[in-house]
Structure 1
Amino acid sequence: MRALQLFLVLLGVSGLAYWFTLDKDSQVALVPDQPTSAIVEIVVPETLSANAQVGKVAFEAKCSACHGANAVGQTDIAPPLVHKIYEPSHHADEAFQRAVALGVRQHHWPFGNMAPVEGLTRADVTMIVAYVRELQRANGIN
């Protein structure tokens, strides 16, 4: 089991290293012109697992422009992922994989559709999900 965890961490780190070598113009996220505010306030855990640490780096690089720092959402931009709607029994880990790979049609929030996110592998998303799940657990979302 320990070897599998080490393998996943190394896979995530190598995926991020690859991502950082890509053409930077293809990585530009649309950032709103107006300042936005967090939709929820959360408790951030003091420590994160190794997988969640890798996931945090990937989240900050690819997801936070819309979903906000620490997945708190942004008014008029994107929903918080640290929210009961995204608890594992309602949105399983595979829902995050599909959202990144295929995009998502608007269904819970009035933000419009989410486009697919380019440049993330399944392993990258697995690490991002580990990060989001640890944030959720720290906030009573299981």
Structure 2
Amino acid sequence: MRPLVLLSGAVALLAIAGGAYLLSGGDAGRTTTGSGTPMASVTVPELSGELARGRELFDASCASCHGANAAGRAGIAPPLVHMIYEPGHHADGAFFLAAARGVRQHHWSFGDMPAVPDVTPQEVAAITAYVRALQRASGIF
């Protein structure tokens, strides 16, 4: 019986610690009001060629939700320049699927992302390259 008491105590302690973490703002899914203010500090590298094209496409198709330079918009959509979206967690294919099919809410509490059907796979490739360049310049990977 004693191991069960220790286990339930440990579970309770983890629940309390997790709640404190969430209340302190540690949860990536925590959003603020719908202010639309940037949620991440982004370093923008020099862009040319495909990366400059990716920025143009991002600005036209993604920035209205994900903010300028993929910094997110508080209460609207998450920053893509964030550890959650580094290649080891969200491979490039995730960007293609997101544009084609949309995304169910899973890391953040912004709601589901709708599909962006007007963006071609070639355009998604350029957008992804741009976002990856922003991530690298900002120290994400």
When normalised by structure 2's length, the TM-score is 0.74
CA distance in structure 2 between the partners assigned to 1:103 and 1:35 by the alignment: 23
Q: Count the aligned residue pairs.
A: 108
Unpaired runs of at least 5, structure 2: 1-33
Unpaired runs of at least 5, structure 1: 1-33
CA distance in structure 1 between the partners assigned to 2:85 and 2:93 by the alignment: 12
Give secondary structure in 2 for the equivalent of 1:38.
coil
Give secondary structure in 2 for the equivalent of 1:124.
helix
Letter in 2 for 1:54: R
Distance 1:35 1:110, change over 3 A: closer
CA distance in structure 2 between the partners assigned to 1:48 and 1:130 by the alignment: 11
Cα drift, residue 118 of structure 1:
2.1
In the other structure, the counterpart of 2:134 is 135
When normalised by structure 1's length, the TM-score is 0.73
Per-residue CA deviation, residues 26-60 of structure 1 (Å, 9 max, x unaligned), is xxxxxxxx752001111111x12411111100000
CA RMSD of aligned residues (A): 1.1
**Matched residues, percent identical?**
54
Q: Which of structure 1's runs of 4+ aligned residues deviate more than 2 A?
A: none
Cα drift, residue 91 of structure 1:
0.4
Task: Check if 1:44 corresponds to 2:48.
Answer: no
CA distance in structure 1 between the partners assigned to 2:111 and 2:40 by the alignment: 19
Give secondary structure in 2 for the equivalent of 1:126.
helix
Which residues of 2 match residues 1-142 of structure 1 at below 5 A? 35-45=35-45, 47-142=46-141
CA distance in structure 2 between the partners assigned to 1:35 and 1:85 by the alignment: 22
CA distance in structure 2 between the partners assigned to 1:81 and 1:72 by the alignment: 6
